[in-house]
Amino acid sequence: MAVEKASAGVARRVLLTAGGLTLLGIYSTGRAGPDPVAARTGKARHAPVLMDNAFTNSPVSDPRVTASPARTRAAATAQDRPRLAAARRRGGPGAPSGYEQPMRYIDDGRKAIALTIDDGPSPVYTPQVLRLLEKYRVTATFSMIGIQASSYPRVAREVADAGHLVANHTWTHLDLAHLPPAVVADQMDRATGAIHAATGRVPDLFRAPYGAWSPFVLQRCAQTRMIPLGWSVDPRDWSRPGVPSIIANIMRNTSTGSIILEHDGGGNRSQTVAALTYVIPRLLAAGYHFRTP
C-alpha cells in the first residue's frame, strides 16, 4: 500500500510539473497552442495581437498596474451612471444566469445603436477612423489592447481626448476562457494600467477577446467594476471579406439597440475604414443615432 501511495504521489508531481511547464510556455510566448475557439465552433478567428516584449514585465512588479478601478473614472460621467448600471443587466436573449452577463444591446431609445472598434490603437488606422468619426460627429467605443496602448500612447490619448469611450481588451488579446485565473487577472489588470497611463482614464468596460467569456472573467469584471461588453452585429471585418461584404452585413443586421463590432488594429484594416466611410452616413440617413454603451 505504501508503495502504491508513493507511486501515486510521484505521478501527481510529474503531472503538475508538466502542467506548470505548459503554462510557462504559454505565458512566456503568448501562444496557447491549437485554436480552442475554432475547435469548438469550426470557425477560424484572427490571431492574437502580440509583440516581442509582450511578457517582459513581471505581473506582480509592473508599476503601471497601480490604478484602482474605483478611482478617477473619467470614461463615464456622473450622469452616465444610471445608464451604465442598467446596461449591466442586459445580456440579450439566451444569456446564461450567474454573474453580470456581457451587454450585447444598448437601450437608449428608438434607433439608438453603438459602434465599437477593437484591437487598437494603431498608428495607421486609428487616426483614419478618428477623422471619419469627427466628420460625422459620431462617438464610438474603442476596445484597446494594453500593449498597443503602451506602445502608442499618443494615439490612445487622441482617442480619449476626442471624447470616445475606451474599453479594456486585455494586455495581449489571449483567449481568457482557457487560461488560469492568475493569468486572466494579469491580462486584465495590466491592460487597465496601460490604458490609464496612456489616456488618464480607468476603463469602465471590458471586452473579452474572441467573445470568449468564462465565469472567472465575469467575476473579475465584477471585482474590478468593469461592465462586460459583447456585440450583436459582427461583419467579420478582421477576416477582410471585402468592403461590399462588410457594408452589406452591417446594413442587413443592424436594428435598434445593436452593438456593431469593427476593428482598427490587429492587421490591415483598410477595408474596415473604407466600409465605415459608406456605413456611417447610410445608417445616419436611415435615422439611426450613435450612442455609447
Active site residues: 118, 263
User: For residue 255, how many C-alpha atoms fall within 13 Å in the half-sphere facing its CB?
Assistant: 3
* Whole-angstrom distance, CA of residue 100 vs CA of residue 2: 49
Cα torsion for 26, 37, 115, 132, to the nearest 10°? 70
Question: Within 10 Å of residue 35's Cβ, how many Cβ atoms?
Answer: 16
The burial of 241, by beta-carbon neighbours within 10 Å (0-12 exposed, 13-18 middle, 19 or more buried), is given as middle
Question: Within 10 Å of residue 182's Cβ, how many Cβ atoms?
Answer: 12
* Whole-angstrom distance, CA of residue 170 vs CA of residue 53: 15
Q: Where are the alpha helices (H) located in the chain, listed in sequence order?
A: 2-29, 36-41, 81-87, 126-136, 146-151, 153-161, 181-199, 215-223, 243-253, 270-285
**In sequence order, what are the residues at sequence separation of 6 or more whose Cβ sits closer than 8 angstroms to the Cβ of residue 82?**
none
Using alpha carbons only, how large is the chain's radius of gyration in Å?
20
C-alpha cell at 148: 498597443
Peptide bond into 180 cis (omega under 30): no
